[in-house]
A and B are shown apart, each in its own frame.
Chain A
Amino acid sequence: MSLLNEVWQAVKAIGTGMATVHKRVYEEAPTEFYPYVELDLPPVSVQSLALVENEDGTERCIVCLQCERACPSQVISIERHRNPEGKGFLIDRFDIDLVNCMYCSACVEACPVSSIVTIQDFELSTYDLHTLKADIDFLHEQARRSKKWYSPKLGVEIRTEDGRIEKAPPEMQPGGLAELLKPAAEEEES
């Protein structure tokens, strides 16, 4: 009798398994149709690096070399010279070897002026690795092309339709919950 029971249990378990599997036929597959549909990546997502300019086209970067020092993979190499007309430095060369970069965003953490930022453009795949040695023009181009970027000091910034740079709404910001909860708390107090 126990043998029969065992067989019955086994048959029942296989049947349950098969029912479990077949149930999924009627569910919509969660596949993302990536090349056909643009992916909506979160604004903090680290897919590539860019060098942001100010709204008036001047350089944000003060060439302090912090990112070069912070980089664990040592892929950033910068050359600079003293600004003959004023304070600070000017960029001679700003190269990032995106092939060896491991996208840890340590450079972004280190940047004091939020010039180097992380962006969501991941479509840099190429047949030729040399094209991934990003120079300053390329990094500027990357920033110009992107609509939103992230740096820890200034949070998520967005580029508006008319080319201005603004701070993103709190729903997009890390820790934006504090700001979102504030009105509710104030209402409760009053």
Chain B
Amino acid sequence: MSLIPIPEDRRFKIKLIGYDPGRSRPWLERFVYSLYVVAFWLFVIATYAGVPALFDWLGWDGGWGYVVMRALQVVMLFLLSAVIALMLILALRKYLGKVQERYGPMHYGPAGGIQTVFDALKLLGKEDFVPAAADWLTFRLAPAVTFVSSFAIFAVVPFASGWTLADSNVGLIYLIAVSTLSAYGVLLGGASSGNKWALIGALRAGAQMVSYEVPLALVFLSVAVWSGSMSLGKIVDAQLGVWNVIPLFIPFVLYVISSLAELKHIPFDFPEAESELIAGYNVEYSGMSFAFFFLAEFVELFLLPALIVVFFFGGWHGPLFGLEPGTLAAGALQSLYFSVKTAVWVWIFLWIRATLPRYRDDQLMEFAWKAMIPLALLGLVLAAYMRLIWR
């Protein structure tokens, strides 16, 4: 034989012939993924109905009890955002796989169902490395800023009637403030990395923010003018008859485009732009810090479509089949409607990601300032006129 004999069991095909990794079991795939959806739904119900009911039952519904209850809801939402991230990463990979004529993850868990859990564990186990050239404090702070600012959008999103953390009557202004903050996280992270690619990514994030923020604010204004309120709950209430997408079609289109830009999602992913800036602002991040950027991205990928649904597609409105609004069953049904509508929009975003190439950052600025802002103003004027005429 040769110098070192080749063991026969190295011929790995012999051992594994006959094992089917799951491509011919689509029912299993569907079952595993529907578990995620059920987990998401149960989390929503537990957060918005279960926790208040628990505190009611304990009799802690005043003073500090209220504070503790809200804090518990925030913790639940944090867990929910983890579920959303795991679910959406898996959905993205599976959908891109299907579109690209491949299978996506299919080895860990049945039909690849817990692949993303292992990915998250892998990221947790990695060294969280701070480069020598980085500014330590800012570098550490940036992922937190990014995540918190995305996560904070949860506070005003109504999952069903009354199912929201804070149905503030300045909800829209809060949204503008919070979504601007998330660009700060990217800016700080990129600029403090001590890496030229990250710096360019950060500058692009800044340039991008000043382009999409203005039309976004104008769109919010048109929604507020048409609905007569800045509270997200009232905006949804006002859509009982006709969804806002019909009267506010121009703001709707602009909002979708600005959402893509805010998400740093494919036609506008300039700060990340893996074929240009390698990984852009998060090129130096690793381990848990990187996981937080990732988590923030996918939480936003849920929340911005959710806001599209809230503003333009009637939020949680849908046929209630005689259920009394305000009860647990009605709330669960409403949150299901809301989630399904959101899922459709998430799918559209993933679809866009699968199709389109990247725009150029100065072209986005040009587009935003020369086309989107005039159109947003037009939309605002139209909304105001329509409000005067029809309401």
- Please list the residues of chain A having a beta carbon within 8 angstroms of any beta carbon in chain B: 14, 17-18, 20-22, 24-25, 27, 29-31, 33-38, 123-124, 126, 128, 130-131, 133-135, 137-138, 141
Contact: A22 with B99, CB < 8 Å? yes
CA A136 to CA B354, docked complex, whole Å: 52
CA A137 to CA B5, docked complex, whole Å: 10
| A24 CB contact (under 8 Å) in B12, B13, B99, B352 | B99
Contact: A130 with B351, CB < 8 Å? no
CA A36 to CA B18, docked complex, whole Å: 6
CB distance from A147 to the nearest CB of B (A): 14
Classify chain B's interface size.
20 to 34
CB distance from A13 to the nearest CB of B (A): 11
**Using Cβ atoms and an 8 Å threshold, which residues of chain A touch B352?**
18
Contact: B21 with A130, CB < 8 Å? no
Contact: B12 with A123, CB < 8 Å? yes
| B101 CB contact (under 8 Å) in A24, A34, A35, A126 | A24
Residue of B nearest to A3 (CB): B371
Contact: B4 with A128, CB < 8 Å? yes
CB distance from B327 to the nearest CB of A (A): 39
CA A25 to CA B97, docked complex, whole Å: 9
- Please list the residues of chain B having a beta carbon within 8 angstroms of any beta carbon in chain A: 1-6, 10-13, 16-21, 23, 95, 97-103, 351-352, 354-356
Are A29 and B101 also in contact (CB < 8 A) when A18-B355, A36-B20, A133-B2 are?
yes
CA A177 to CA B75, docked complex, whole Å: 72
Q: Classify the secondary structure of B's interface with A.
A: loop
Residue of A nearest to B95 (CB): A25
**Using Cβ atoms and an 8 Å threshold, which residues of chain B touch A30?**
101
Contact: A141 with B1, CB < 8 Å? yes
| B4 CB contact (under 8 Å) in A25, A37, A130 | A130
**Using Cβ atoms and an 8 Å threshold, which residues of chain A touch B354?**
21
CB distance from A40 to the nearest CB of B (A): 12
26 contacts between A and B (CB under 8 A): A21-B351, A21-B354, A21-B355, A22-B99, A24-B98, A24-B100, A25-B95, A25-B99, A29-B23, A29-B98, A29-B103, A33-B21, A34-B13, A36-B17, A36-B18, A36-B21, A37-B17, A123-B12, A124-B6, A126-B10, A130-B4, A131-B2, A135-B1, A135-B3, A137-B2, A138-B6
| A38 CB contact (under 8 Å) in B10, B17, B95, B100 | B17
CB distance from B78 to the nearest CB of A (A): 33
Given contacts A24-B101, A33-B21, A123-B12, 5 further A-B contacts (CB under 8 A): A31-B23, A35-B13, A126-B6, A130-B4, A131-B2
